[in-house]
Amino acid sequence: MNHTNLPPGPNASVRAAAMQDGLCVARVSGQERDLYTIVSDHGTMPAKVAGKLMHQATGPLDFPAVGDWVAADTSGDVAVIRAVLPRKSVLERKSAGVTSAGQIIASNVDVVFICMSMNENYNLRRLERYLSVVWASGAEPCVLLTKRDLSLDPGRYETEVGLIALGADVLVVTDKGEDGYAAIERKMAAGRTYAFVGSSGVGKSTIVNHLMDAAVMATSDIGKADKGHHTTTTRQLFATPAGAFVIDTPGMRELQLDAVDFDSAFADIETLAARCKFNDCTHGGEPRCAVREAIEDGRLSAERMENYRKMQKEADHQERKAKAAEIAIARWRRAH
C-alpha cells in the first residue's frame, strides 16, 4: 500500500501528540498471529506490539486489529506498536472456544459488505445474524447478492432480502460481464473503508481483486471450492487505485454473536411489539398481541420471528456468561 493515499484517519491533534512522543500514526493493514503489517508516512513495515501494551491488555479487544490506527515507533526494522487509537467502528464476533471474549474482524470500517451467493449459500436466517452484528459495529451494512449469473431468478432473491435487510442497501452482482460489479463501485467513495464478510466461496476475494485491478488475493479454482475449504486465511487491508480502502476477510462457517443490535436489525418486530396490549407481552398467546397477529395475516414471517427469539436467547446467555466472568475476575483480584 502506498503511503501517499493513506486516508485522513485520526485528526491533526492526535497525530501531533504522537509525534511529540517520537511516534508516528500508522494503520494496521495485516496481521498474522503476533506479527503485524502497518502503513505510515514511512511506508509499509512489519510491526510488533510493545510489551507494556501486551501486559496491560485485559482481552483480545485491547490488541491491534486490521483497520486500526496505531501510534508506533518506526525507528527500527520492525516497528513497535505502543497504542491503539480510539476506534470509529469495531466489527466483532465471539471467538471460537470457551472464553466469552470477542474477536475483532475489522475496525474503522465505514461500510461492511455482507456477501451471500444465490445458490446453496443463500440463507436468510444467517443474513439476519450478520445484519444484527454489523448494525452493532457502528458501520453501515450493505448486502451483496453474488453470482447473479448462476441464478435463474435473481429478482426473487433481491425482493426477499429487501424485506429483511431493513435500512440496508441490497446489490446484486456478478464477476461475469463488463459491469457486473458496477453497483459496488457506485456505492464506494475515495478515502472510505469497506470490509467484505460472508461464507467461504461466495466471491469476496474475487471482488477485491476486481477493485484492485490486480490479483492481490488468491481465489479458489472452480471445482475446488468444496465445503470447509477456506481460500483466504488472513484479514488484509488494501488501498484501491480509486482511493478507497478494502478489507478482505476469511469466510466464516458460523457467526457467533457477540455485540448485537436488535433494534436496528429487527426494527419491524420491535415496532410491532410496541403495539401489543401488554407491555411485557411474550408473544406466546396473550390476547391482542400485535406480533402474533402480524404472523397470522402474513405480514411477518414465522421463521424470522423464531430466529429473532433464538438470537435473543443466545445474546442473553452470552451476556450472562460475560457478567459471570467479570465477577469471577473481580473476586480473584480482591483475593490476591
Ligand X SMILES: Nc1nc2c(ncn2[C@@H]2O[C@H](COP(=O)(O)OP(=O)(O)OP(=O)(O)O)[C@@H](O)[C@H]2O)c(=O)[nH]1
The grid cell for 148 is 447473479
Stretch that binds ligand X, among 121-129, 147-155, 287-295, 321-329 (CB under 6 A): 147-155
Q: If we measure between CA atoms, which residue out of 242, 152, 246, 149 comes closest to residue 193?
A: 246
Q: Among residue numbers 234 through 293, which ones bind ligand X (CB under 6 A)?
A: 250-251
Q: Residue from 137, 231, 236, 240 that binds Mg ion (CB under 5 A)?
A: 231
- x/- letters, 290..309, toward Zn ion (CB under 5 A): -x------------------
Using DSSP, state whether 197 is helix, strand or coil: strand
Q: Residue 146, interface with Mg ion (CB under 5 A)?
A: no
Q: Residue 192, interface with ligand X (CB under 6 A)?
A: no
CA distance 231 to 251: 8
Q: Residue from 73, 160, 169, 175 that binds ligand X (CB under 6 A)?
A: 175
Give DSSP secondary structure letters for 67-101.
Answer: T-EEEEE-SSSSEEEEEEPPPS-EEEEEPSSSS--
Shortest CB 222 distance to ligand X, Å: 5
CA distance 220 to 182: 23
Shortest CB 146 distance to Mg ion, Å: 12
Are residues 13 and 56 in contact, defined by beta-carbon separation less than 8 angstroms?
Answer: no
Shortest CB 256 distance to Zn ion, Å: 28
Shortest CB 241 distance to ligand X, Å: 19
Total residue length of the chain: 336
For ligand X, the binding residues (CB under 6 A) are 146-147, 149-150, 174-176, 200-206, 219-222, 225, 230-232, 250-251
